[in-house]
Chains A and B, each alone.
Chain A
Amino acid sequence: MDQTALKRTPLYDLHVALGAKMVPFAGYDMPVQYPSGILAEHKWTRENAGLFEVSHMGQCSIVGPNFESVARAMEMIVPADILSLKPGQQRYSQLLNIQGGISDDLMITHSNWEGLEGSLYVVVNASRKGFDFAHIEENLPPGLTFKRYDNLALMALQGPKAEEALAKLNAGVKALAFMNSGRFDLAGIAAHVSRSGYTGEDGFEISVAGTDAAELWNKLLSDPLVRPIGLGARDSLRLEAGLCLYGHDIDRTTSPIEAQLQWSIAKRRRADGGFIGSHRVQRELLGGVSRKRVGVKPDGRAPARDGTEIQDESGRKIGVITSGGFGPSVNGPVAMGYVETAYAVAGTPVSLIVRGQAMPAQVCTLPFIPNRFKK
């Protein structure tokens, strides 16, 4: 990609000043790691508090005359229960295509921001925001409006010490439950804070005006509990936590049921359908799927990367790795991928074809590291 065409986030200069290695990611020049390296950053996040900039992600709102009209419109395009979201509450879901494949995964919040009560605040993947924003907007019924927030920054503070660190700026954040959010003054900066993340740890995602981002970033980093973490460790953390990466573990060909995301589809939605792609979801919930997303643990030390073929013991292809690498907290290789349903049982021995050699591995349950979300 032409480096000059890469977009910069509000904190670009600070990443460079911290010595980050910058790489192209979804059209943005992003920090993949800081000088301490991915292993140290990963472990720091699991033990302390890691600060990530994720302003490349897409933030938007759907605004309407009341929450019910907005929620019903959203329920046309996602399989999650949106109507039951209480103000401030947040839910994970997927945008589906008419074939029931996943166009993107996203976080949907019933906004309790002053002046935006009753609207939905939505965060989507950077690589998909062009598609997602157009898709959401064109599916809105008359009377509802779509707003994209290109001038907001987004950061994530993740890890067992995240609460302690953020509470120094506003003790009120301690009261936030997992998957809940609110408006907080963080040492003079207006922020939307949600208790959520992409690491398997407790933590927060913090949306602020792009012009306030540097001040908040520096304030958080001045705390010895907090260190900057790049996209490299973000990937290894989410892989150990068993979380999907769009374009790898889920894409327009995989359904939420194949991806084992049925936990994110409430009973009412399963029964009633009525969302784009619901035919396949309902059919698969009743009749099962031919392949499932599973964890894969190589027996040896060699990582198996995205695209690695999975074979059964007779050498027949039964699936493919969709994310794979080294898990610093597991201290060994970890992977996830899709296998034929008959093999999607923990403990099933399989072979991974790495550089032409069959490498022994086992199907396992996810996550590799137990989630430590705030109860």
Chain B
Amino acid sequence: MKFSKDHEWVTVDGTIATIGISDHAQGQLGDVVFVELPKVGRVVKAHESVATVESVKAASEVYVPVSGEVVAVNAELAGDPALVNRAPESDGWFMKVKLSNAGELAELMDKAAYDKFVG
């Protein structure tokens, strides 16, 4: 699992990247009550805002860390947005993106570097 400075995580299986927000990020947001996800088929660029997480207090943007085409989104989050709090780095994933530039993965941090980044 790799992490971005915007607090998203990425795992890669072949050319498909699964993306979510980090445990640290969900802790900062607090109780998640709504997640707006991109449409499947949308072509996204790295660092673009593609989703919104709403907590009781505020809305926060989610920046996709890699470029490509959105091929799936997590439908579970519509009925159970708190999954982002309970399982941020597994069942609470946001979207899957078919990578168009695998080289972008090199810019991401590993877990040790990310843990150091968030202090």
Contacts and interface: CB of A to CB of B under 8 A. Distances in A.
Contact of A303 (B30, B31, B34, B78): B34
Contact of B54 (A33, A42, A233, A303): A303
A302 B81 CA distance: 11
B36 A303 contact: no
B34 A39 contact: no
Interface residues of B, number: 14
Contacts of B54: 302-303, 326
Given A37-B30, A38-B30, A232 B57 contact: yes
Contacts of B31: 37-40
Interface string A315-346: 00000000001101000010000000000000
Contacts of A39: 31, 33, 56
B102 interface: no
A61 interface: no
Interface string A226-265: 0000001101100000000000000000000000000000
A301 interface: yes
Given A303-B34, A355-B36, A328 B56 contact: yes
Interface in B6-57: 30-31, 33-34, 36, 52, 54-57
A77 interface: no
Chain A interface helix/strand/loop/mixed:
mixed
Contacts of A325: 56-57
Nearest to B49: A355
B34 A33 contact: no
A326 B56 CA distance: 5
Contact of B52 (A42, A232, A355): A355
B87 interface: no
Contacts of B78: 301
Nearest to B61: A355
B59 interface: yes
Contacts of B56: 38-39, 42, 232-233, 236, 325-326, 328
A193 interface: no
A305 B58 CA distance: 8
A37 to B, nearest CB: 5
Contacts of B33: 39, 301, 303, 326
Q: Which of B30, B34, B57, B58 is packed against the most chain A CB atoms within 10 Å? A: B57
A301 B36 CA distance: 10
Interface string B66-96: 0000000000001001000000000000000
B52 A333 contact: no
A352 interface: no
A305 B56 CA distance: 10
B29 to A, nearest CB: 10
A32 interface: yes
A11 B3 CA distance: 38
A333 B34 contact: yes
A236 B52 CA distance: 20
Interface string A5-26: 0000000000000000000000
Nearest to B82: A39
Given A33-B30, A38-B30, A302 B36 contact: yes
A286 to B, nearest CB: 41
Contacts of A33: 30
Contacts of A233: 56
Nearest to A40: B31
A323 to B, nearest CB: 12
Given A232-B56, A325-B56, A301 B34 contact: yes
Nearest to A232: B57
Contacts of B58: 305
20 contacts: A32-B57, A38-B31, A38-B55, A38-B56, A39-B31, A232-B30, A232-B56, A236-B56, A301-B34, A301-B78, A302-B34, A302-B36, A302-B54, A303-B59, A305-B59, A325-B57, A326-B54, A328-B56, A355-B36, A355-B52
Interface of A: 32-33, 37-40, 42, 232-233, 235-236, 301-303, 305, 325-326, 328, 333, 355
Given A326-B55, A326-B56, 12 more contacts: A32-B57, A37-B31, A38-B31, A38-B55, A38-B57, A39-B31, A40-B31, A301-B33, A301-B78, A303-B34, A303-B59, A355-B52
State the 4 A-B residue pairs at the shortest beta-carbon distance, nearest first: A326-B33, A39-B31, A38-B56, A37-B31
